[in-house]
Structure 1
């Protein structure tokens, strides 16, 4: 799988841009603020319908423009499809495949698959649990695009349920309509348990599938490490008692929701469910001792673990049958010479690798290929 052409209209800094691409390595080189990351961000957006740099879509639309369009020709098994997303402020985005409109924008997710490395990846290790949950859910959806709907449904259910908890909690403290709010809340408890159980079951299976790839990747990128040093696990907001079946998980979730009812009413938020879970990252430090990466790992170990998570994602997606597009966004400037060379050698054989760098010297020799200079909104292919 690779992108053979990228077209942008009013996306980020570009009023318009046309970039032909090829399999193999393509590097975009230019000083910070010239627009090189905007190009690879657009391709990654087509994959996930979200940006690795901002939480909302509004910053992706060029200042003063009414909408933005990202269009890419994607080649898979010798066949080309034209994928397009239109971003419209304050309205639902629209998506098309070969000019035909899709019922929902999220139906385009997974038609092109990317794995993106960036300096922001440190948040996977040092950031909040929500960053690690997002990492898992993004990977879930790339592997099984139908789960975009499950993820969206769960977010909607959670928002509605939290609103009811606030209403019921206020009613319990002297306001009216407590009985009605509690009655309605029971319906949303069932929705939360059922949809949350599906998301939870998928996450548990994903962590099991991903874990051996993480150990292998960490051994490769961390000096002197073994594949047993880096481990990942899943910590739920309730005792799962070893359950992995969706129906069993739904029953456990519903029982725990009912047990925590008073706490939830007091606080006005949902305290049970996948939104409270954590992807646990640990490192062995000798003598069989494993410690959380966050708070205990050095800067170099944290970087190695973040790289291992991305490399593991790539290997897992690749095991599903397709080479994802690898995007290395300004990542080499953050790595020492040895890690640069190691990462470059690991990814050089991918079907398509897109690299951004402030200076050409940051791109390792193993990733020699097509190079574009990006400056002042102009994208120029170098000979």
Structure 2
């Protein structure tokens, strides 16, 4: 899978952009603030319907513009001439609109799974050093990339969680009789939270179990000193052995019943996968708080590369995006990373200095300067 053409209108800093891409490695070179990351962000947006840099669509629309357009033609593979045209119109404050082969689709979510990307960027350091929400977000992004239908499951879970928490908050501190009147409504939300939560938990457990060896292998390949990188799912409640969905749902219901009084008293949903943690360890020590900056950076990169390798093992060929990665790596790590990803169908790289990108990833190169994109012939 690779993108062979990208068109932008009023996306980020670009009034317009329109250029062809090739399979293999492509590097966008430019000083900071020239717009190179905006280009790869646009491609990832078509794959994930979100940005790896910001949580809102508002910054994605160029200042003074009302909407932005991102369009890309995606080829199925190097030996496959099939192509699809993906398009999203970003409308902050209103519903975004999407088209597939120029025909409108009912919801943008229908585009998920057509283009798949794996992005590594400086923001990924938060996966290792940040709070548990960053690690949950990482695993949820990966499982949605594997199984696009999980985007709807995650959205349903978040919706039920919000509604249930609002009900608990409204009942906090109220009389027993008032709480009793809401018993039926709470039971409905309990059942739905357990149903969607069990499906999300099952997908997380399966994905993490399959990701762990790939991430460990990637870390060993990149880091000059090979401490064992370990990833473990750490639920906030006891879970049954295995990942049977019905058993997981039953465990969630049981926990909600056991913690009912505490939840009512605090007005919070204390049970569910939104409370879970993912433990990252290097050797026998937790990465958070003990790993050096270089080790943390290598661990974050290995998680993304492990995800990339897992998707390929699933029979998928995602576009790999390395956004301003090489400047943070020493020469040894650069060469090891290049060797790990050189066979990807498409690698999109951003770099402030062309010399930071190893020769193994020599390919097409674009110079990005003040929003202008110029193709540069390679020597």
For the 8 Å contact 2:240–2:248, the answer to whether it is kept is no
- The aligned residue for residue 287 of structure 2 is 293
d(CA) in 2 for partners of 1:292, 1:182: 42
Question: Is the counterpart of residue 68 in structure 1 residue 68 in structure 2?
Answer: yes
TM superposition shift of 1:172: 3.7
Q: Is the 8 A contact 1:167 1:181 kept in 2?
A: no
> Would you say how many aligned residue pairs link Structure 1 and Structure 2?
374
Query: What secondary structure is seen at the aligned counterpart in 2 of 1:346?
Result: helix
Alignment gaps of 5+ in structure 1: 285-289
- In the alignment, does 2:227 pair up with 1:218? no
Task: Please state how far the C-alpha of 1:155 moved relative to its aligned partner.
Answer: 0.6
Following TM superposition, by how much is the alpha carbon of 1:314 offset from its aligned partner in structure 2, in angstroms? 0.6
Cα distance, 1:318 vs structure 2? 0.6
The runs of at least 4 aligned residues of structure 1 exceeding 4 Å deviation read: none
Q: Deviations over 1:90-143 (max 9, x none)?
A: 122122110122222112112101111111111110011111111111111111
Q: Report matched runs for 1:1-383 at 5 Å.
A: 1-76=1-76, 77-172=80-175, 177-225=178-226, 229-284=228-283, 290-383=284-377
SS in 2 for 1:239: coil
TM, length-normalised to structure 1 = 0.95
Maintained 8 Å contact 2:136/2:278: yes
Measured in 1, the distance between the counterparts of 2:35 and 2:175 equals 54
Q: Post-superposition shift, 1:257?
A: 0.8
Q: What's the secondary structure of 2:230's corresponding residue?
A: strand
In structure 1, C-alpha distance between the alignment counterparts of 2:83 and 2:226, rounded to whole Å: 42
| Structure 2 segments unaligned to the other structure (5+ residues) | none
- Shift of residue 306 of structure 1? 0.9
Q: How far apart in 2 are the matches of 1:365 and 1:243?
A: 45
- In 2: Cα distance, 1:346 partner to 1:204 partner: 26
Q: Secondary structure at the match of 2:174?
A: helix
Secondary structure of the structure 1 residue equivalent to 2:17: strand
How far apart are the structure 2 equivalents of 1:313 and 1:217? 10
**Equivalent pair of 2:237/2:271 in contact (CA under 8 Å):** yes
1-side partners of 2:304 and 2:17: how far apart? 29
Q: Could you tell me how far apart the structure 2 residues matched to 1:160 and 1:92 are?
A: 22
> Any idea what SS the aligned residue of 1:149 has?
helix
- Secondary structure of the 1:78 match is strand
Tell me the distance in 1 between the aligned counterparts of 2:121 and 2:133. 18
Deviation at 1:164, TM superposition (A): 0.5
CA contact 2:128–2:288 (8 Å) conserved in 1: yes
Q: CA deviation at 1:243?
A: 4.0
Q: Deviations over 1:55-93 (max 9, x none)?
A: 111111111111111100000032010001111111221
Query: Which whole-Å CA distance do the structure 2 matches of 1:178 and 1:264 have between them?
Result: 12
> 1 CA distance for matches of 2:19 and 2:279?
40
TM-score of the superposition, structure 2-length normalised?
Answer: 0.96
Cα shift at 1:241: 3.3
Residues 178-187 or 72-81, more deviating: 178-187
Superposed displacement of residue 170, structure 1: 4.2
Contact residue 169 and residue 266 of structure 1 kept, 8 A: yes
Aligned partner of residue 55 in structure 1, secondary structure: coil
